[in-house]
Amino acid sequence: MGLTYKDAGVDIEAGEEAVDKLKDDVADTFTSEVLTGLGSFGALFAPDFGDYNEPVLVSGTDGVGTKLKLAFMTGQHNTVGIDLVAMSVNDILAQGARPLFFLDYLATGKLKPDSVAEVVKGITAGCKEAGCALIGGETAEMPDFYDSGEYDLAGFVVGMVDKDKIITGANIAAGDKVIGLASNGIHSNGYTLARKVFFDVAGYDVEDQIEGLETTLGEELLKPTRIYVQPVLEILEQYQVNGIAHITGGGLIENLPRILPDDLQAVIDQTSWPTQTIFNLMQDIGDIAEREMYRTFNMGVGMTLVVPAAEAADVVKQANELGEKAYVIGEVQESAIDNGKLTIDN
Instruction: Determine the longest span between alpha carbons in the chain, in angstroms.
Output: 77
pLDDT of residue 133: 95
Length of the chain: 346
User: Does residue 44 sit in the same domain as residue 191?
Assistant: no
Which residue segment(s) compose the domain that 146 sits in? 12-165
* Full DSSP string of 32-94: TTB-S-TT-SS--B----TT-SSEEEEEEEEE-GGGHHHHHHHT--SSHHHHHHHHHHHHHHT
CATH number at residue 44: 3.30.1330.10
Quick one: which H or E segment has residue 105?
strand 98-108
Torsion on CA atoms 76, 79, 81, 87, rounded to nearest 10:
-130
Look at residue 171 and tell me if it is in a domain. no
Look at residue 3 and tell me if it is in a domain. no
User: Does residue 69 sit in the same domain as residue 124?
Assistant: yes
User: Does residue 211 sit in the same domain as residue 341?
Assistant: yes
pLDDT of residue 191: 97
CB atoms within 10 A of CB 77: 22
CATH number at residue 190: 3.90.650.10
Look at residue 172 and tell me if it is in a domain. no
pLDDT of residue 165: 97
Among the candidates 102, 134, 165, a domain finishes at 165
Q: What are phi and psi of 127, to 5 degrees?
A: -65, -40
pTM of this prediction? 0.93
pLDDT of residue 336: 65
User: Does residue 206 sit in the same domain as residue 236?
Assistant: yes
**Domains identified in the chain, total number:** 2
User: Does residue 111 sit in the same domain as residue 200?
Assistant: no
Tens-digit pLDDT string for the chain (346 aa): 676 657 566 676 766 666 676 677 778 888 888 887 766 788 888 998 888 999 999 999 999 999 999 999 999 999 999 999 999 999 999 999 999 999 999 999 998 888 999 999 999 999 999 999 999 999 999 988 998 889 999 999 999 999 999 999 999 999 999 999 999 999 999 999 999 999 999 999 999 999 999 999 999 999 999 999 999 999 999 999 999 999 999 999 999 999 999 889 999 999 999 989 999 999 999 999 999 999 999 999 999 999 999 999 999 999 999 999 999 999 999 986 655 577 776 6
